[in-house]
């Protein structure tokens, strides 16, 4: 008796899915048949999208497979595909965004503002990086000042409650100019230059009353 792939029970297929990344699962099984599509939906591959290892050419194809109205969390990597942030349409139910390898804060800010009414958790990871110049390399930093980015984010009313800027030692905040902000953050993770910045953060309204975790 010959057993074909579609004869496998649901539990076996779910076990196979557990070894696959979001990218690979959607690439291989999206629209394969109704049964597999239902399993992909049940396992959250359309709701929690991780394209952090996706190169641009594959990303363009995957973008056409996604269900934008169902996406609740999104992870992308600007090192893998620098143009990803500019390619997304509006995602009406996006609550969690994690962006790795950020080189241009303007793109991140524009994306966040587009989803200001739904986005609750924002993680932005960046660091200095090397850029090829002929036969040599030069050390570069993300464009747009980190302090300016925070100023733009925290002083516009939105749904954001968690801001994680990573713990990269070369990517730190050297100045906290605010006395008050518009967002009652519950969680803040950021690398600081001096203890004075920490004191300034904790004296910024309404953070003394709302902030539950500071890292």
Give percent of the chain with pLDDT exceeding 70: 83
User: What digits encode the pLDDT tens for the residues 124-170?
Assistant: 887 655 556 666 666 555 656 777 788 888 888 788 999 998 776 66
**Is the residue at 76 inside a domain?**
no
Tell whether 18 is covered by a domain. Answer: no
Domains in the chain, number: 1
- In whole angstroms, how far apart are CA 211 and each of 121, 149, 195, 214, 215? 14, 20, 18, 7, 11
Residue 156 lies in a domain: yes
- Nearest Cα neighbor of 54 from 89, 26, 23, 75 is 23
Is pTM, for the whole model, over 0.85?
no
In a domain, 13, yes or no: no
> Per residue in 70-115, pLDDT tens?
999 999 886 655 567 778 889 999 999 998 877 778 888 888 899 9
Instruction: Report yes or no: 200 and 176 within 8 Å, Cβ to Cβ.
Output: yes
- Residue 62 within any structural domain of the chain: no
Question: Rounded distance, CA 1 to CA 46, Å?
Answer: 35
Q: How far apart are CA 76 and CA 174, in angstroms?
A: 27
- Count Cβ atoms below 10 Å from residue 106 Cβ, excluding itself: 14
What DSSP character marks residue 23?
H
Contacts of 50 (CB under 8 A, 6+ apart): 21, 22, 23, 74, 75
For residue 131, the enclosing domain spans 95-214
The DSSP element (H or E) to which 188 belongs, if any, is strand 187-189
- Beta-carbon contacts of residue 16 (< 8 Å; ≥ 6 apart): none
Mean pLDDT of 208-215: 88
Q: Is residue 114 part of a domain?
A: yes
Query: Is position 136 within any domain?
Result: yes
Q: What's the longest Cα–Cα distance across the chain?
A: 74
Asked if 191 and 150 count as a contact pair (C-beta separation under 8 A), the reply is no
Residue 39 lies in a domain: no
């Amino acid at each position: 008796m010959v057993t074909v792939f579609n004869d496998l029970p649901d539990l076996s297929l779910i076990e196979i899915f557990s070894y696959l990344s979001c990218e690979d699962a959607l690439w291989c099984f999206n629209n394969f048949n109704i049964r597999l599509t239902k399993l992909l939906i049940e396992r959250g591959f359309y709701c929690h999208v991780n394209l952090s290892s996706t190169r641009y050419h594959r990303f363009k194809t995957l973008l056409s497979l996604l269900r934008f109205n169902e996406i609740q969390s999104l992870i992308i990597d600007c090192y893998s595909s620098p143009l990803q942030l500019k390619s997304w349409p509006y995602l009406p139910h996006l609550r969690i965004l994690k962006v790795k390898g950020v080189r241009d804060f303007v793109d991140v800010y524009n994306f966040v503002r587009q989803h200001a009414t739904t986005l609750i958790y924002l993680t932005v990871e960046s660091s200095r990086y090397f850029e090829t110049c002929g036969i040599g390399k030069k050390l570069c930093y993300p464009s747009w000042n980190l302090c300016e980015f925070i100023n733009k984010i925290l002083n516009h009313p939105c749904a954001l409650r968690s801001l994680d800027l990573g713990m990269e030692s070369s990517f730190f905040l050297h100045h906290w100019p605010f006395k008050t902000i518009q967002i009652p953050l519950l969680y803040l993770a950021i690398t600081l230059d001096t203890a004075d910045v920490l004191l300034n953060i904790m004296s910024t309204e309404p953070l003394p009353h709302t902030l539950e975790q500071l890292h």
